[in-house]
Amino acid sequence: MNSASKKAILVVSFGTSYENTRKVTIDAIERDIADAFPACPTYRAWTSKMIISKLKKRDGIIINTVKEAMEQMLRDGITDVVVQPTHVINGIENDQMKADALSFKDQFASIVFGNPLLTTENDNQAVVKAVADEFQDMDSMTALVLMGHGTEHVANELYPEMDGLFKHFGYSNMHMGTVEGDFSIESFLDELKELHPAHIHLAPFMIVAGDHATNDMSGEDDDSWKSILEREGYSVTCTLKGLGEIQAIRDIFIRHTKMGLDKLS
């Protein structure tokens, strides 16, 4: 790489309209990455145009799309970019993000991508440990039910794989489902009945505890996971804490960013 090169990191998130969770998840990931690589300016982009539009209209906050962030970096004289997603899986959002960034490939010396959270077997095992450590004080009569986002993308298979991985490492009281895709709460209700837990604890398996966690998981509507489980006779509590609040999860994103920067070197 020549001496005139100028590297930067673009952290790409889906986004959230919930300020409280944004501060302790997306903002925290960006801050940790910026602190880990102080020689590289860090930029932000979100992929949800609906959320970007909502924040602009409601709060007057301007968030760049991936293309707008790439244009900003060009104006700032950036030559080499590491695009680091905060996505959980390499699904539809990640595919679109790559396409948007690579539409600028002729205008930068290099564009490389860091991995989403769940990419390698080591990643998956590190996430299992991070989540298990987060809920280590949970008693044996409580079942932890994690709500993933889910997708129609083939990457949705990662969610049942993670469910199996929790069991593999001895966490038989930890269960995974998704709010979208074909791995819904109905897929493990029978398994819960066999376990007879005294209590169920719900938590999001998503970077932010936003709309899905607030409404689909812990809301009072009849079709929320909390309501469904209560109708089944369970005592239910909810944790509105996104994965991005867990330091061990943020550390995985730092490692993935480092791998991206190493590709530039």
Q: Are 222 and 258 in contact (CB under 8 A)?
A: no
* Residue of 149, 175, 201, 256 marked active site: 149
Tokens of 117: 């959270």
**Within its chain, how far is the Cα of 169 from the centroid?**
22
Question: Is residue 149 annotated as a catalytic residue, yes or no?
Answer: yes
- Only one residue has tokens 């999001």, namely 204
Nearest by Cα to 79 from 4, 136, 13: 4
**3-state DSSP call for residue 238?**
strand
Pairwise CA distance, residues 193 & 185, whole Å: 13
Q: What's the DSSP call for residue 11?
A: E
The two structure tokens encoding residue 24: 């302790």
Q: Which residues lie closer than 8 Å to 193 by C-beta, 6 or more apart? A: 232
Contact status, residue 24 vs residue 244, Cβ threshold 8 Å: yes
The packing angle between helices 247-264 and 26-36, to 10°, is 50
- Catalytic site residues? 149
